């Protein structure tokens, strides 16, 4: 019987993984299974099983990973503290009179909540309950109302605290603090481009997104500002602590969670809500950890097969400028994002793509923000766009097809945003480069 080379086993493993994912097998199960069988085929049962068996423990005790539950807990505590309602109320009073004012308020409030929530689907679910009813009662098209919330929810992947940025840092062994800082300006730019899109859209067809008729006095507007203080406090704590080097990302996240917990208790959060916050945090943390474990098993398999090195050699040998190659890589992410969730897509592709990108001379921090921005796109593109399904699940009266039609212009806005970052990479790299060590 002909013995297969490691290269051949690696290619077979990649194809097998893609097939399993596309037929609906959970990514962490498919990655673990393929990785285990591939390692056993290359180095034998004892060595292969030994490598797979050590990964869950070795990665669970990683200090870098401890930041994830802190960031996730901040989001759930903020929700139960009622911070989301206060943010939207303030944004509505300040921007509601503008063309498309409620949509703009939704984007800005979502961006604010993203600063205390690292999960985009949770953000989309929260504002589906808060913002969509307000927009529909103001005469908005259901397509616009749902599309705004689904698209704005993706801002949580960029604006710190972002779970997916932490995962990127873990895979490529980059500084978590520098990556989180790098997400601030791109997150703000993304939100402002959404706002610009809504303004143009509302000017072209005011019936789709009319301004609200309520008039708020300056006194009413000023009274709404204190409701935003909890979010501002978390932003200041996390940003200042990491920027000045006073705390690690995990310590900054713990401080942020403590501040939100205190504010939630001051607002009368009951034990049941606290229990739900802790349980939801545990569930989401276990899910992310399971993904990481499974994919790292697959990464070990890829390493033994030598595929990352071969891919890097292939990419660097192409007779094209690096920016052309980068465009092809980003197009690949657009296609993959139609069939995979954001975290799974990054976990599976980065071990192969990242070395090639570094060999082309690109900055690690810059590429991290770019690739996470592309992951945002996959959250709202059919047929797997999770945010669209979340919005439709919360609002069963709005079909998921309507949500997908509503996010179409925002996907175009995302591509424009990526173009801005390609032309002006300093928008990403400037802030982390100022970070004090």
pLDDT tens sequence across 132-187: 888 888 888 889 889 999 999 888 888 877 778 888 888 888 888 888 888 889 99
Q: Where does the pLDDT of residue 60 fall: very low under 50, low under 70, confident under 90, or very high at 90 and above?
A: low
What are the tens digits of pLDDT across the range 379-411? Answer: 788 777 778 888 888 888 888 888 899 898 999
Which H or E run includes 276? helix 271-305
User: Taken in order 285, 65, 166, 84, is the CA torsion positive or negative?
Assistant: positive
Whole-number mean pLDDT of the chain? 82
Q: Is the link from the previous residue into 38 a cis peptide, with omega within 30 of 0?
A: no
What are the tens digits of pLDDT across the range 18-57? Answer: 788 778 777 788 888 888 888 888 888 888 888 888 877 7
Tokens of 281: 């945090």
Task: With H, G, I as helix, E, B as strand and everything else as coil, classify residue 63.
Answer: coil
Residue with tokens 């529909």: 136
The radius of gyration computed from the CA coordinates of the chain, to the nearest angstrom, equals: 22
Side-chain-side CA neighbours of 268 within 13 Å: the count stands at 0
Query: Residues 8, 11, 17, 20: what is their CA dihedral angle, to the nearest 10 degrees?
Result: -80
What does the pLDDT read at residue 1?
44
Which one is predicted more confidently, 188 or 67?
A: 188
What does the pLDDT read at residue 226?
80
Which one is predicted more confidently, 142 or 302?
A: 142
Residue 94: C-alpha distances to residues 108, 117, 149, 381 (Å)? 11, 23, 19, 31
How many other CB atoms sit within 10 Å of the CB of residue 273?
17
Closest CA to 70 of 275, 282, 293: 282
Closest CA to 368 of 118, 67, 164: 164
Residue 86: C-alpha distances to residues 187, 230, 406 (Å)? 21, 10, 26
pLDDT of residue 115 exceeding 80: no
Model pTM score? 0.81
Q: Where does the pLDDT of residue 191 fall: very low under 50, low under 70, confident under 90, or very high at 90 and above?
A: very high
How many other CB atoms sit within 10 Å of the CB of residue 226?
11
Closest CA to 119 of 335, 341, 398, 338: 341
Tokens of 142: 């259901």
Tokens of 391: 């919005």
Q: Where does the pLDDT of residue 419 fall: very low under 50, low under 70, confident under 90, or very high at 90 and above?
A: very high
What are the tens digits of pLDDT across the range 328-377? Answer: 888 888 887 776 777 777 877 888 888 888 988 899 999 999 998 988 88
């Amino acid at each position: 019987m002909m013995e297969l080379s490691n290269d051949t086993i690696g290619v077979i493993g990649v194809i097998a993984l893609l097939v399993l994912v596309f037929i609906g097998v959970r990514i962490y199960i498919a990655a673990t299974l393929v990785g285990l069988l591939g390692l056993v085929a290359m180095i034998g049962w004892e060595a292969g099983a030994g490598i797979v068996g050590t990964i869950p423990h070795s990665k669970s005790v990683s200090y870098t990973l401890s930041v994830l539950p802190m960031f996730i807990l901040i989001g759930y505590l903020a929700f139960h503290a009622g911070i989301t309602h206060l943010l939207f109320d303030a944004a509505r009073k300040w921007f509601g009179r503008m063309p498309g004012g409620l949509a703009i308020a939704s984007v800005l409030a979502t961006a604010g909540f993203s600063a205390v929530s690292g999960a985009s689907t949770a953000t989309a679910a929260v504002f589906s309950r808060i913002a969509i009813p307000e927009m529909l009662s103001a005469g908005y098209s259901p397509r616009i109302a749902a599309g705004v919330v689904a698209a704005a929810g993706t801002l949580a992947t960029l604006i710190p605290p972002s779970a997916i940025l932490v995962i990127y840092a873990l895979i490529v062994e980059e500084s978590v603090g520098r990556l989180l800082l790098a997400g601030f300006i791109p997150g703000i730019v993304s939100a402002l481009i959404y706002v610009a899109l809504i303004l143009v859209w509302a000017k072209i067809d005011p019936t789709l997104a009319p301004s609200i008729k309520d008039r708020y006095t300056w006194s009413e507007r000023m009274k709404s500002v204190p409701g935003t203080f909890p979010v501002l406090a978390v932003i200041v704590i996390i940003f200042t602590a990491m920027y000045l080097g006073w705390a690690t990302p995990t310590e900054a996240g713990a401080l942020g969670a403590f501040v939100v917990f205190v504010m939630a208790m001051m607002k009368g959060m009951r034990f049941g809500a606290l229990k739900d916050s802790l349980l939801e945090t545990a569930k989401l943390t276990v899910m992310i950890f399971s993904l990481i474990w499974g994919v790292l098993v697959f990464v070990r398999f890829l390493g033994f097969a030598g595929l990352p090195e071969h891919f890097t050699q292939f990419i660097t040998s192409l007779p094209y400028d690096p920016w052309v190659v980068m465009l092809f890589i980003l197009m690949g992410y657009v296609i993959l994002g139609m069939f995979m969730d954001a975290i799974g897509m990054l976990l599976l592709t980065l071990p192969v793509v990242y070395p090639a990108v570094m060999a082309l001379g690109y900055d690690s921090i810059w590429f991290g923000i770019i690739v996470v921005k592309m992951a945002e796109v996959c959250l709202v593109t059919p047929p797997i766009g999770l945010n669209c399904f979340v919005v439709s699940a919360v609002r069963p009266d709005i079909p998921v097809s309507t949500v997908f039609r509503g996010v179409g212009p925002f996907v175009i806005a995302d591509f424009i945003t990526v173009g801005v970052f390609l032309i002006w990479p300093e928008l990403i790299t400037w802030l982390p480069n100022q970070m004090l060590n």
